[in-house]
Amino acid sequence: MKKLFHGLGPGFIVFLVLVLAACGGSAGGPSGGAPSGGNTGGANNLNIAFLPKAINNPYFDTAATGAKNAAGELKGTFKQVGPSTASASEQVTWINTLTEQHVSAIVVSANDPNALAPALKQAIAQGIKVVSYDSDVAPDARQVFVNQANSEDIGRIEVQVLGKELNYSGQIAILSAASTATNQNAWIGFMKDELSKPQYKGMSLVKVVYGNDDDQTSFNDTLNLLQAYPNLKGIISPTTVGIAAAARAIESVNKGGKVALTGLGTPNQMRKYVKDGTVQSFALWDPGQLGYLAYYAAAALIQGKITGKPGESFDAGKLGTKMIGANGVVLLGPPTVFDKSNIDQFNF
């Protein structure tokens, strides 16, 4: 009897191996018995899933609202899933889950461009369309990237805004999100390049810290910056979670107005700080429009209207016709700068 017990374990493993080998195929399609993916071929089955960097993030929730509107217009379905913290490995788990659920398209904002690539390529091999938005992945792991604005514009505008506020002199720091986030690193690259221009020679970038899009971490990071660099004159935080936490941190040590803060934030989060002077101006775009455009792009891919090649164009509902640029990138438009004069016109 004991021998039979001990046979159970290896027996089970052998069984599993046989199952996997039998169901094997080069791409590993679903075995017979499961309904074959009608969504992948059907022109009207718009089962689109959004996978942001993390859920419960107001920026991505606003994008989701825009996407839901698009889903309503196109009569498709929308769902948003994601990790509770900005973790690339958890995003991979979600990508696998979505692949197994055979959604028509995955729209993802990446915490790490390379970590997600194998899982996304597998999804593409299963016939699922992949669109990246907000933060790109490796170009061969997606078909279209919906960029909110030109990365160069975003990076340079941040530095230009802060430079003007500080009269082009002083120490500054950057409070970023995850250290591997594609969009952050692209913007920071352009920020550093802008800072190397002659008119900024009075300013120096002393540190880049990574708050991981976590409120508590960003808050503590800002306080540490203020303590470690008593002469710090300005902070750029190109992340909506980061800038909100930094504003709170600056106010909590009564440095509002003494340390300039700018970056990317939502008008609703920043309204209080703009009105009381902690933040003079900041930039963003409409995340709702970003989500809306990403949904339309995914739908166009599913319906076969585009394949992601430069030069193709597709209908983007209220946003008109959008053309795909080099590297499969679609631009939403130029960033908007918010300050006291216009912040009350927006509600997101």
Partner 1 sequence: MKRLRTFLSSWEALLVVLLLLAIVLGSSLSPYFLTGFNVSSLTRDLMEKAIMALSMTLIIIAGEIDLSVASTLGLASVILGATWNAGVPLWLGMIIVLVVGATAGALNGLLVTRLGLPSLVVTLGTLALYRGLAYVVLGDQAVSDFPAAFTTFGFGSVPGTLIPWPFVVFVLLALVFMGVLHWSWIGRQIYAVGNNKEAARFAGIRVARLKLMLFVLSGLLAALAGIIFTARFSSARPDNALGFELDVITIVLLGGVNIFGGRGTLVGVILSLFIIGALRNALGLANVSGDIQNIVVGALLVFSVLGPNVAQYIQAALTRRRLAAGGSTKKV
Phi and psi, residue 79, nearest 5°: -145, 155
Q: Which one of residues 41, 42, 72, 97 is an interface residue with partner 1 (CB under 8 A)?
A: 97
**Torsion of the alpha carbons at 186, 187, 192 and 194, rounded to the nearest 10:** 120
Q: Which one of residues 64, 92, 301, 332 is an interface residue with partner 1 (CB under 8 A)?
A: 92
Determine, following the binding rule CB under 8 A, whether residue 231 of this chain makes contact with partner 1.
Answer: no
Burial 321-335 (b: 16+ CB within 10 A, else e): ebebeeebbbbbbeb
Residues of span 60-89 touching partner 1 by CB under 8 A: 79, 81, 83-84, 87-89
For residue 197, the SS3 value is coil
Interaction mask 102-141, partner 1, x per CB under 8 A: x---------xxxx-xxx--x---x---------------
Determine, following the binding rule CB under 8 A, whether residue 253 of this chain makes contact with partner 1.
Answer: no
Determine, following the binding rule CB under 8 A, whether residue 93 of this chain makes contact with partner 1.
Answer: yes
Q: d(Cα 278, Cα 251) in Å, to the nearest integer? A: 7
β 313-315/321-323 pair status: antiparallel
Determine, following the binding rule CB under 8 A, whether residue 323 of this chain makes contact with partner 1.
Answer: no
Residues of span 156-185 touching partner 1 by CB under 8 A: 178-180
- Among the listed ranges 144-152, 155-163, 206-214, 260-268, the one in contact with partner 1 (CB under 8 A) is 206-214
Task: Choose between 79 and 305: whose C-beta lies nearer to partner 1.
Answer: 79
Q: Which residues contact 102 (CB under 8 A, 6 or more apart)?
A: 30, 37, 39, 40, 126, 128
Task: Choose between 22 and 326: whose C-beta lies nearer to partner 1.
Answer: 22
Task: Choose between 18 and 253: whose C-beta lies nearer to partner 1.
Answer: 18
Determine, following the binding rule CB under 8 A, whether residue 206 of this chain makes contact with partner 1.
Answer: no
Task: Choose between 79 and 272: whose C-beta lies nearer to partner 1.
Answer: 79
Q: Which one of residues 33, 198, 311, 320 is an interface residue with partner 1 (CB under 8 A)?
A: 33
Min dist CB 25 to partner 1, Å, is: 8
Q: Are the C-beta atoms of residues 133 and 59 closer than 8 Å to each other?
A: no
Q: Which residues contact 25 (CB under 8 A, 6 or more apart)?
A: none
Q: Are the C-beta atoms of residues 173 and 205 closer than 8 Å to each other?
A: yes
Q: Are the C-beta atoms of residues 204 and 171 closer than 8 Å to each other?
A: yes
CA 34 → CA 17, 43, 106, 120, 225, distances in Å? 20, 21, 21, 22, 55
Q: Are the C-beta atoms of residues 69 and 300 closer than 8 Å to each other?
A: no
Task: Choose between 4 and 43: whose C-beta lies nearer to partner 1.
Answer: 4
Which residues here bind partner 1, judged by CB under 8 A?
A: 1, 4-6, 8-10, 12-13, 16-17, 19-26, 28-31, 33-35, 79, 81, 83-84, 87-90, 92-93, 96-97, 99-102, 112-115, 117-119, 122, 126, 178-180, 209-210, 212
